């Protein structure tokens, strides 16, 4: 079915995964257009896609004629244009807390483990898979350690990152935990994160956003 909302996505893109969760939480129908990040040097680098997203990164969301990039900006745009159910709390302090949790993932963990960073380390320093894993495990563990402390020490943490309803911080946390598992980051020291991740996994919005549920998933790849 044609939709006004079109998401350029790759099954394993954790930034696209965040947007899929938000769209699902809000019950919005959207069309997925798959961009393969590895095939033929990466379809994100084709002129057609670069014209939409000059950073040549996923995701991009079309809302009718409007072109939106940067997953965190997209999450906030969706929340402002389709306010129910909200992804952010009603109070300024709550919003600041949720954005801080989300930005630990979106600004400090994810960017240094991105595909283009790993490809560059490889091309410049001949890093092998084990060395790239050491890099990933270091930065993901250090970020998750901080997140665990922030979540475990706050009375504002509930069944989810903030209170008892899922929101923007959960939409960032769950893809990061998926990514950590992919890189075999030990997670035993993060019981609060694991509890929230497991709670989110029981919700259809998160389940249907999982990489393996996507139309372009290559489960054996
Ligand atoms: N800050 C950006 C990050 C986007 C990003 O890094 N996307 C990754 C996939 S998770 C990507 O497209 N990587 C392609 C590449 O590195 O060439 C956002 O949140 O949208």
What span, in angstroms and rounded, lies between the C-alpha atoms of 135 and 147?
Answer: 19
pLDDT above 80 for 221: no
Determine if ligand 1 sits within 6 Å of the CB of residue 115.
yes
What Rg value do the Cα atoms of the chain yield, rounded? 17
114 lines ligand 1 (CB under 6 A): yes
> Which of the four pLDDT bands, split at 50, 70 and 90, describes residue 2?
low
* 37 CB near ligand 1 (under 6 Å): yes
Q: Which domains does the chain have, with CATH numbers?
A: 5-85+207-213 (3.40.30.10), 92-203 (1.20.1050.10)
9 lines ligand 1 (CB under 6 A): no
Instruction: For residue 70, report the distance from its CA to the centre of ligand 1, in Å.
Output: 8
- Could you tell me if 151 and 193 are in contact, meaning their C-beta atoms sit under 8 angstroms apart? yes
Range of lowest pLDDT (57-66, 129-138, 191-200): 129-138
pLDDT digits (tens, 9 = 90+) for 52-77: 999 999 999 999 999 999 999 999 99
The answer to whether residue 146 scores a pLDDT higher than 80 is yes
Each residue's pLDDT tens digit, 8-49: 999 999 999 999 999 999 999 999 999 999 999 999 999 999
User: What's the average model confidence in pLDDT over 176-203?
Assistant: 97
pLDDT digits (tens, 9 = 90+) for 23-34: 999 999 999 999
Residue matched to tokens 């929230």: 196
Average pLDDT of the segment spanning 113-129: 93
Is residue 13 within 6 Å of ligand 1 at its C-beta?
A: yes
Mutate to test the pocket of ligand 1, among 21, 102, 115, 140 (most ligand atoms within 8 A of CB): 115
Percent of the chain residues topping a pLDDT of 70: 97
- Strand order across the beta sheet in which 66-69 lies: 31-34, 5-9, 60-63, 66-69
Global pTM value: 0.96
Residue 219: the pLDDT is 58
> Quick one: tokens of 185?
């980051």
For residue 81, is the peptide bond before it cis, meaning its omega torsion is within 30 degrees of 0? no
Q: Strand 60-63 vs strand 66-69: parallel, antiparallel, or unpaired? A: antiparallel
């Amino acid at each position: 079915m044609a939709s006004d909302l079109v998401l350029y996505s790759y099954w394993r893109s954790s930034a696209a995964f965040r947007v899929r969760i938000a769209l699902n939480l809000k019950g919005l129908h959207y069309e997925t257009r798959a961009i393969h990040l590895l095939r033929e040097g990466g379809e994100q680098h084709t002129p057609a896609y670069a014209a939409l997203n000059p950073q040549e990164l996923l995701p991009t969301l079309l809302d009718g004629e409007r072109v939106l990039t940067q997953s965190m900006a997209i999450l906030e745009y969706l929340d402002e244009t389709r306010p129910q159910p909200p992804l952010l709390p009603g109070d300024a302090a709550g919003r600041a807390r949720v954005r801080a949790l989300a930005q630990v993932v979106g600004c400090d963990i994810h960017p240094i483990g991105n595909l283009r960073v790993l490809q560059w380390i490889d091309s410049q320093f001949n890093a092998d898979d084990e060395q790239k894993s050491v890099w990933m495990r270091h930065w993901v563990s250090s970020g998750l350690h901080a997140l665990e402390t922030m979540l475990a020490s706050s009375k504002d943490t509930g069944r989810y990152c903030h209170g008892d309803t899922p929101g923007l911080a959960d939409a960032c946390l769950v893809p990061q935990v998926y990514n950590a598992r992919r890189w075999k980051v030990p997670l035993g020291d993060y019981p609060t994160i694991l509890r929230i991740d497991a709670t989110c996994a029981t919700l259809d919005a998160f389940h249907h956003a999982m990489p393996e549920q996507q139309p372009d998933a290559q489960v054996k790849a």
